[in-house]
Chain A
Amino acid sequence: MKSRFLTGVSHGIPICLGYLSVSFGFGINAAASGLSTIEASIISASNLTSAGQAAGVGIIAAGGTLLEMILVQLTINIRYALMGLSLSQNLDKKFTTPNRLLASYGITDEIFAVCSAQKQPLTPAYMYGIILISMFGWVTGTFLGASAGHLLPQSISSALGIVLYGMFIAIVVPPARRNKSILFVAAASALLSILFKYVITAVSSGFSVIICAIAAAAAGALLFPVDEEAEE
């Protein structure tokens, strides 16, 4: 039991390091949007997600509606539902309902990627190990970014604003290169997003993301339905 926990911690160390630097950028962005260090840290501890938090902070800063917040989080984070479904197929017997309720908090892109690569059934201890070390990196980075971001020279803190987006690019580009349908979806979504930014400016940025993503993903699903078995 304990060794599975430590295995999880060791598998989570690269994630922790990656999260440290990315969430540092989030902390800076959050502080620049008017949030306090404590608020930014609580957001990171309670959400543990990059894109959803970035969009959420944008809505808070803009004074958006709660409906907008709910719809944006649903759209951006709906992928976690699919990941949860996928992980639920390969769980150890020790995964009782209370364990599932607790571990589901830590389903992120990177944790999902590492967990789904495991051959043996996932144990709660293993997932808690990987989640705990990853969360430590994510919250610490946010705290440092939000609190010390002001202390950095302007040239460095503004350059760090791009870190989170760099990570998004690193997630999208490799599969888009291998898979034409993903390239189509990503390109269509980006084009729509540009359209909403410069042409149809009445739509808020949060709703724009929802509309672009749903339209592009639906078009992709119609034009390039995935094979029954060949799911990546």
Chain B
Amino acid sequence: MSTAIYIIVMAGVTYLIRMIPFTFFNKKIKSRFVRSFLKYIPYAVLSAMTIPAIFYSTGDVVTAAVGTVVAVALAFFNCPLIVVALAASLAAFLTGVII
């Protein structure tokens, strides 16, 4: 299948998800379950995407594991997004140089 079709579908779905509520909704969602579900969805998605995929993200499980530990530690102490992301990468790089 052509890559262009994938990209059009991907971008179209993503745009509609953003556009429809922002443009047409004015009232608040009433259902407590739906509101709770929507609140938890981002964390569930990111968690499932990250684990275990992060351990294969550098092509070496050991360097990736070191990067992961560094990222979790810095995130635990509320470091900014960019610091956490780059430190994880730096840790993985340095580990790769050493081993």
Contact = CB atoms under 8 A, between A and B. Distances in A.
A166 B93 CA distance: 14
Interface residues of A, number: 102
Contact of A165 (B36, B53, B83): B53
A107 B18 contact: yes
Contacts of A171: 42-43, 46, 81
Nearest to A29: B57
A186 B43 contact: yes
Interface residues of B, number: 75
The binding surface of chain A is classed by DSSP as helix
Interface of B: 1, 3, 5-7, 9-11, 13-15, 17-23, 25-26, 28-29, 32-54, 57-60, 63-64, 67-68, 71-72, 74-76, 78-90, 92-93, 96-97
Contacts of B22: 84-85, 87-88, 100, 103-104, 107
Given A101-B23, A166-B87, A60 B6 contact: yes
B41 A224 contact: no
A13 B38 CA distance: 29
B47 to A, nearest CB: 4
A63 B3 CA distance: 9
Q: Which of A63, A100, A168, A221 has the most CB of B within 10 A?
A: A168
Q: Which 3 A-B pairs have the closest CB atoms?
A: A84-B22, A166-B88, A173-B75
Contact of A162 (B38, B80, B88): B88
A130 interface: no
B85 A170 contact: yes
Contacts of B53: 165, 205
Interface in A205-232: 205, 208-209, 212-214, 216-218, 220-222, 224-226, 228, 231-232
Contacts of A168: 46-47, 49-50
Interface string A64-80: 00100110011111111
Contacts of A175: 43
